[in-house]
Structure 1
């Protein structure tokens, strides 16, 4: 009898140890992979979780572990910023209109949880902010005139080795010294200042604002005259790429171009950026088709059939509608039909309605629900 009781006590103690180990594993190795909104809610679970989530080291670790596109900021000339969450239960920000900033702003670009915004008043200053934590920083005034609607790309790559978030803001602006040229100015958070690059790109018309992306240290913008202007931050050299004018994005670490043709979404990946330097009549292609998504009349979602998507199939419309795709990066493609926005998830193969009253000049800026500290 005594031996039996001792055995039960040992089993109980072992079970308690297993439970404690599992709790520690969840706290240390699972929480950093969750989005900011969920983590703020989980602060109420217990005192240990609250203390863990509130530390700067945890915020740094979470910004390195969580990189999923969580939602989309929408910006137009007639309305303040708004936010569409891809999963309202998990992703969100406390003030979608960014009223915590010192003045009304337009969102220009984003990168891994940080937004770059431009103020409406005075010198139209740039602000870097994290909408999840409402932290922000005002950048110094640039050396050059970037124009009324600058072509900006924010570049922030979280690193375990850099406890302080280091980012760069790159602007391509029309040159004041030469016609049909553009120059590049770079802000570095590590240096806290702007610097105009010595590189000048000749033969460029205006670049399309909000079209820029960065991949492996190279920034790409769409040009209004067609093609893509690329700027290598390491070499500080620019070049022009031809062949695609679709919505630029990044999928699996590679530059992609997504376009709409009739009822089909086509995603192409840049496989060879050096075709413009190869011999004439070379058969080497710069772009390869990554995938095609057929939107036929039998495919329905939430009661909406694709025969209603006038951006793809309305009578008299152009067969190629580059304005139909507003965002395509990660696993998410956002496209529009008249005033309605739809999303397509590359993982789940599901399509859904995001917004029913989108402005004609709406811009889509992706957002990652991160705790990164500025």
Structure 2
């Protein structure tokens, strides 16, 4: 970018702190501006600045089913307000949306369309900031019944390539397990990898988290409860033992990321909800699990959604989004409603990352 009054590095530093919406408009000002804004170094710098700014503004995407229409909807929530976001799927009659994580402002979503679309579905990558959508191609080994397939999304920290892993859900015994496949954004194609999935049944798909190049799923087969993980760089599966919490009808366990560390939230689902939040202080070391918080019991709690800054959590209480301050115990209710138990929350950082391979 050029300026008659300021040094180039000052202008670039200012630009990196601007909202993505403004930067997208500036791309059409001049060829030099377009080249600067699309430069990979600037894209990375803009994301780093946006990440720092977001930590104070607490941006979150909230996915849910609308409590009246029963249609999926997505809202962007900040400290002061919330705005609905247009669904990114090409078909308008999408009935269900499954989120498979986010990385660097990019989300992986699976949308299932209504009956008039003959049961069709789309697996997409989506950048809410640039509104760019990438529909992933089908693979030769793609099963007909996708309900038995598990996905994970992240970035290879070595090659910086975005990847999606796909494999069979071992909870459904007697069904033929599809091979493990990996999609690379750089090549826009799927390939089969020689990876062995440990024999664990997977819990409800919301129990998953991405951290530093590794994707995590909560498993439960009544004999050995653990966290199944996939390393996007090595392209291998592994497992991590859970903290001393249990899964039964009175407990609900969630895998999460808290302060760049792997975490498990044990929810006591009795008359008044209570949360025990465990953090793995040294990644991959089972003995490093430590109980960091005990929150509640509180009659205004519901399902745990995630952390809201350093001192608050977000929960869903009878179909309404609620925040709870861990310090002063203050409760705030948002004007966001949906079908109970079907809320999902995701951290969001604005990004210029392109989905064009």
Measured after TM superposition, the shift of residue 335 of structure 1 is 1.2
Counterpart in 2 of 1:62? 46
Q: 1:372 aligns with which of 343, 348, 353?
A: 353
Distance 2:89 2:46 in 1: 23
CA–CA separation in structure 2 for the residues paired with 1:26 and 1:350: 41
Q: In 2, Cα distance between the equivalents of 1:135 and 1:346?
A: 37
TM-score by length of 2: 0.69
The answer to whether residue 357 in structure 2 is matched with residue 359 in structure 1 is no
For the residues of structure 1 that align with 2:93 and 2:277, how far apart are their CA atoms? Answer: 35
Tell me, yes or no, if structure 1 residue 127 matches structure 2 residue 107: no
Deviation at 1:167, TM superposition (A): 0.8
Distance 1:201 1:130 in 2: 30
Which residue in 2 is equivalent to 1:148?
A: 147
Q: Secondary structure at the match of 1:66?
A: helix
List structure 1 segments (4+ residues) > 4 angstroms apart after TM superposition: 23-26, 37-41, 50-54, 102-105, 175-183, 261-264, 328-332, 344-351
Counterpart mapping for 1:42-81 below 5 A:
51=33, 55-57=37-39, 58-67=42-51, 68=54, 70-76=59-65, 78-81=70-73
Gaps of 5+ in 1: 1-18, 276-284, 297-305, 312-323
Cα distance change on mapping 1:152 and 1:86 into 2, 3 Å: farther
Distance in 2 (alpha carbons) for counterparts of 1:246 and 1:365: 16
5+ long unaligned stretches in structure 2: 246-251
- 1:15-26 to structure 2, matched below 5 A, reads 20-21=5-6
CA-to-aligned-CA distance 1:268-315 (integer Å, 9 cap, x gap): 11246354xxxxxxxxx35112334x458xxxxxxxxx5x4154xxxx
1:253 to 2:242 alignment: no
Q: How far, CA to CA, are the matches of 2:322 and 2:171 in structure 1? A: 40
Q: For 1:63-83, what per-residue CA distance to the aligned partner results, in whole angstroms no more than 9, with x for missing partners? A: 343233522131339312221
Q: What does residue 137 of structure 1 align with?
A: 134
C-alpha change, 1:83 and 1:209, in structure 2 (3 Å) is same
C-alpha distance 254-167 of structure 1, shift in aligned 2 (>3 A):
same
Report SS of the residue matched to 2:142: coil
Distance 1:222 1:329 in 2: 22
Q: Which residue of 2 aligns with 1:185?
A: 181
Aligned-pair CA distance for 1:150: 4.3
- Residue 236 of structure 1 deviates from its aligned partner by 0.8
Count of paired positions:
312
2:163 maps to what in 1?
A: 168
CA-to-partner distance for each residue in 1:309-334, whole Å, 9 max, x for gaps? 154xxxxxxxxxxxx21234874632
**Larger helix fraction of residues:** 1
TM-score, normalised to structure 1's length? 0.67
Change over 3 Å in CA distance of 1:99–1:239 after alignment to 2: closer
- Is residue 266 of structure 1 aligned with residue 276 of structure 2? yes
Give the Å deviation of 1:194: 1.6
What corresponds to 1:108 in structure 2?
Answer: 99
Report which of the two structures shows the higher radius of gyration computed on alpha carbons. Answer: 1
Inter-partner Cα distance in structure 1 for 2:327 and 2:90: 35
SS of 2:337's equivalent in the other structure is coil
What SS does structure 2 have at the residue aligned with 1:219?
A: strand
CA deviation after TM superposition for structure 1 residue 39, in Å: 5.8
Deviation per residue, 1:197-243 (Å, 9 max, x gap): 33333432234213221223322101254432223341513235233
When residues 177 and 40 of structure 1 are mapped into structure 2, their CA distance, relative to the original with a 3 A threshold, is closer
**Aligned equivalents of 2:265, 2:278: Cα separation in 1:** 6
The structure with the greater share of residues assigned to strand is: 2
Q: Secondary structure at the match of 2:196?
A: strand
CA distance in 1, matches of 2:187, 2:34: 31
